[in-house]
């Protein structure tokens, strides 16, 4: 069932997890980058291409391995975001934007997975 398309569009449940892991890792990377260099320029993403690349990069990962990857990246991101000071947050809205994006993504995909299951 975890490999049956339809969990989120054409994605399988495992692919949804791989997509989430990719964005969690990217959000952590970008947040660290902005902290180290607050003047770093913003990036724009082609979400469809980024999503496809993240799923493709993890194609060989089974369900348990995909969940294990997310179980590492998610807490690391949450821990890092917890260290953002109010001064940093006020100076650069990207921290809040990225955190909100991740929370929204989890809510959306969680609802899709519950409805699909």
Q: Which residue segment(s) compose the domain that 58 sits in?
A: 13-116
CA distances from 105 to 49, 56, 108 (A): 16, 19, 5
The count of domains in the chain is 1
Task: Establish if 5 belongs to a structural domain.
Answer: no
CA distances from 64 to 10, 38, 44, 61 (A): 20, 37, 31, 8
Query: In 37-62, which residue ranges form alpha helices assigned H by DSSP?
Result: 47-57
Task: Establish if 4 belongs to a structural domain.
Answer: no
20-64 pLDDT per residue, tens: 999 999 999 999 999 999 999 888 999 999 999 999 999 999 999
Instruction: Kindly tell me if the per-residue pLDDT of 3 is higher than 80.
Output: no
Task: Establish if 3 belongs to a structural domain.
Answer: no
CA distance 48 to 28: 20
Closest CA to 25 of 80, 62, 73: 73
82-109 pLDDT per residue, tens: 999 999 999 999 999 999 999 999 999 9
Instruction: Kindly tell me if the per-residue pLDDT of 81 is higher than 70.
Output: yes
pLDDT at residue 4, rounded to an integer: 73
Task: Establish if 29 belongs to a structural domain.
Answer: yes
Task: Establish if 6 belongs to a structural domain.
Answer: no
CB environment 12-50: b (16+ within 10 A), e (fewer):
bbbbbbbbbbbbbbbbbebbeebbeeeeeeeeeeeeeee
pLDDT at residue 1, rounded to an integer: 64
Task: Establish if 49 belongs to a structural domain.
Answer: yes
pLDDT band at 7 (very low <50, low <70, confident <90, very high): confident
State the CB neighbour count (10 A cutoff) for residue 69: 19
pLDDT at residue 42, rounded to an integer: 84
pLDDT at residue 5, rounded to an integer: 72
């Amino acid at each position: 069932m975890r490999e049956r398309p339809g969990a989120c569009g054409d994605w399988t449940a495992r692919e949804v997890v791989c997509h989430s892991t990719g964005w969690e890792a990217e959000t952590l990377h970008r947040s660290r980058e902005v902290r180290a260099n607050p003047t770093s320029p913003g990036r724009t993403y082609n979400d469809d291409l980024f999503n496809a690349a993240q799923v493709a990069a993890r194609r060989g990962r089974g369900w348990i391995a995909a969940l294990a990857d997310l179980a590492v990246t998610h807490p690391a991101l949450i821990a890092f975001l917890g260290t953002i000071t109010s001064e940093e947050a006020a100076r650069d809205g990207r921290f809040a934007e990225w955190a909100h994006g991740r929370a929204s993504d989890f809510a959306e995909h969680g609802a899709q997975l519950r409805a699909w299951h």
